[in-house]
């Protein structure tokens, strides 16, 4: 029979054990999931190379639309395009930050660019417009997403390879986009007929800013006003987030201000304008970013607003946007925000389930597109002034 003192000692030991258990279970996952986050923030060459090899292998074997689960052929082909585009960005960013890896990863980056420019990959855009984006550069139609996303890659390649074989095309696309912006009374280029999205125009603007800064492009008459639109006209006055869509006829917001579009816009703008990119990150942090037990997340909608999200945000659960959480990694690294980056990475690690196999690593739940996006976001470069 337990004596009172023994009984007290017994329960004291149990209370200590329980406290230790909950202490370890609440801190161990945070510590474990954050380890790689610290390494990614620092640009650890081993971590970078292992994921880059997985993405490069995906590019080299090729990606097909059928690999993506969607009932929409358009979305399947957009995701195929997005895989090559994000893969190229990530691999080229690595070439900038780690010149010693250039010989290994530049060939895959260039193969991804060749795929971006192929008729097969650009067919989704041609089908929507009834014309090919690259053979109609003298025309008036926007093609904002295809041309903008592609042109960012071409400009970045020129920064890595000064004698880039894509230089002439980069010049032509930049000239076409700048001309279309001058001629567009609403100030926003359409992605598809009747559809205009600020985030796609952010890729257009980011590419023009790079072309202007590094390659002598003369686009200040359109880039200046467009930056103002991202700071004011296309930005919700209360939350500071970018409107997800704009009415292409009347230049008014036609969707809510949302974090998925804002976070990706901030990434594209980081290639050429530090001020605007920083403004958008500040709004994301004050309005949408939060953490629980050290695991960071970004809500899709402003405080006090709820919504179901869509294909851009990913499934919104408890208000959290997978896309915005992932895209904000890029801004956190680009602006040197280590705390935010590691918090967000913990969540990406927990949900992405990264594994290493030999000299490669991958996020199991990401698939080809998810791994390409993560490589681009995790290797985002310091924001350009």
- Span 163-205, pLDDT tens digits: 999 999 999 999 999 999 999 999 999 999 999 999 999 999 9
Q: Inform me whether the pLDDT recorded for 19 exceeds 70.
A: no
Cα–Cα distance list, 78 to 25, 108, 137, 140 (Å)? 41, 20, 20, 22
| List of residues 6+ apart from 257 with CB closer than 8 A | 235, 236, 239, 240, 241, 242, 243, 244, 301, 302
pLDDT over 70 for what percent of the chain? 91
Predicted pLDDT at 16: 43
For residues 181 and 228, is the Cβ–Cβ distance under 8 A? Answer: no
Q: Inform me whether the pLDDT recorded for 22 exceeds 60.
A: no
Cα–Cα distance list, 137 to 78, 110, 132, 193 (Å)? 20, 22, 9, 16
Average pLDDT over residues 230-252: 94
Q: Inform me whether the pLDDT recorded for 220 exceeds 80.
A: yes
Predicted pLDDT at 203: 99
In order, the DSSP letters of 159-196 are HH-TT-TTHHHHHHHHHHHHHHHHH-TTS---SBTTBB
Predicted pLDDT at 109: 99
Q: Give the length of the chain.
A: 385
Pick the CATH number of 41-378 from 1.20.120.530, 1.50.10.10, 2.10.10.90, 3.20.20.80: 1.50.10.10
Distance of alpha carbon 153 from alpha carbon 141, whole angstroms: 21
For residues 210 and 272, is the Cβ–Cβ distance under 8 A? Answer: yes
Q: Inform me whether the pLDDT recorded for 248 exceeds 70.
A: yes
In order, the DSSP letters of 107-135 are HHHHHHHHHHTSHHHHHHHHHHHTS-TTT
For residues 299 and 290, is the Cβ–Cβ distance under 8 A? Answer: yes
Read off the pTM: 0.91
Structure confidence at residue 301 as a pLDDT band (50, 70, 90): very high
Structure confidence at residue 23 as a pLDDT band (50, 70, 90): very low
Structure confidence at residue 25 as a pLDDT band (50, 70, 90): very low
pLDDT digits (tens, 9 = 90+) for 201-219: 999 999 999 999 999 999 9
Tokens at 127, concatenated: 């089908």
For residues 340 and 58, is the Cβ–Cβ distance under 8 A? Answer: no
Cα–Cα distance list, 56 to 97, 109, 303 (Å)? 17, 8, 39
- The β-bridge partners of 295 are 292
| List of residues 6+ apart from 120 with CB closer than 8 A | none
Query: Which of 363, 295, 282 is closest to 325 using CA atoms?
Result: 295
Predicted pLDDT at 205: 99
For residues 368 and 83, is the Cβ–Cβ distance under 8 A? Answer: yes
pLDDT digits (tens, 9 = 90+) for 72-122: 899 899 999 999 999 999 999 999 999 999 999 999 999 999 999 999 999
In order, the DSSP letters of 315-364 are --BTTB-HHHHHHHHHHHHHTT-HHHHHHHHHHHHHHH-EEEETTEEEET
> How many angstroms from the chain centroid is the CA of residue 186?
26
Structure confidence at residue 30 as a pLDDT band (50, 70, 90): low
> How many angstroms from the chain centroid is the CA of residue 4?
62
């Amino acid at each position: 029979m337990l004596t009172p003192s023994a009984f007290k000692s017994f329960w004291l030991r149990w209370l200590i054990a329980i406290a230790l258990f909950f202490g370890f279970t609440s801190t161990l996952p945070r510590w474990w999931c954050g380890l790689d986050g610290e390494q990614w923030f620092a640009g650890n060459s081993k971590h970078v190379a292992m994921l880059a090899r997985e993405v490069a292998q995906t590019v080299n074997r090729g990606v097909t639309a059928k690999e993506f689960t969607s009932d929409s052929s358009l979305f399947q082909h957009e995701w195929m395009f997005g895989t090559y585009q994000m893969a190229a960005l990530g691999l080229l960013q690595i070439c900038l930050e780690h010149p010693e890896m250039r010989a290994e990863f530049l060939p895959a980056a260039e193969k991804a660019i060749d795929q971006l420019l192929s008729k097969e990959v650009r067919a989704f855009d041609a089908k929507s417009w009834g014309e090919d984006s690259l053979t109609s550069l003298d025309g008036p139609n926007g093609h904002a997403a295809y041309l903008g996303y592609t042109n960012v890659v071409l400009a970045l390649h020129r920064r890595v390879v000064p004698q880039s074989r894509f230089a002439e095309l980069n010049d032509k696309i930049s000239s076409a986009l700048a001309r279309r912006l001058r001629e567009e009374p609403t100030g926003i280029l359409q992605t598809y007929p009747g559809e205009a999205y600020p985030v796609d125009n952010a890729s257009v603007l980011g590419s023009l800013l790079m072309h202007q800064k590094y390659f002598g492009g003369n686009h200040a008459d359109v880039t200046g006003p467009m930056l103002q639109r991202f700071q004011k006209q296309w930005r919700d006055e209360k939350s500071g987030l970018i409107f997800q869509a704009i009415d292409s006829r009347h230049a008014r917001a036609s969707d809510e201000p949302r974090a998925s579009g804002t976070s990706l816009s901030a990434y594209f703008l980081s290639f050429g304008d530090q001020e605007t990119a920083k403004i958008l990150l500040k709004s994301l942090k004050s309005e949408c970013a939060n953490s629980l037990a050290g695991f960071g997340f970004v809500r899709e909608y402003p405080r006090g607003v709820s919504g179901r999200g869509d294909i851009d945000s990913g499934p919104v659960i408890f208000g959290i946007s997978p896309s915005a959480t992932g895209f904000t990694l890029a801004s956190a690294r680009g602006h040197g925000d280590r705390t935010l980056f590691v918090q967000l990475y913990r969540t990406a690690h927990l949900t992405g389930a990264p594994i290493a196999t030999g000299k490669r690593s991958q996020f199991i739940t990401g698939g080809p597109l998810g791994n390409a996006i993560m490589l681009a976001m995790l290797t985002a470069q310091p924001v350009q002034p």
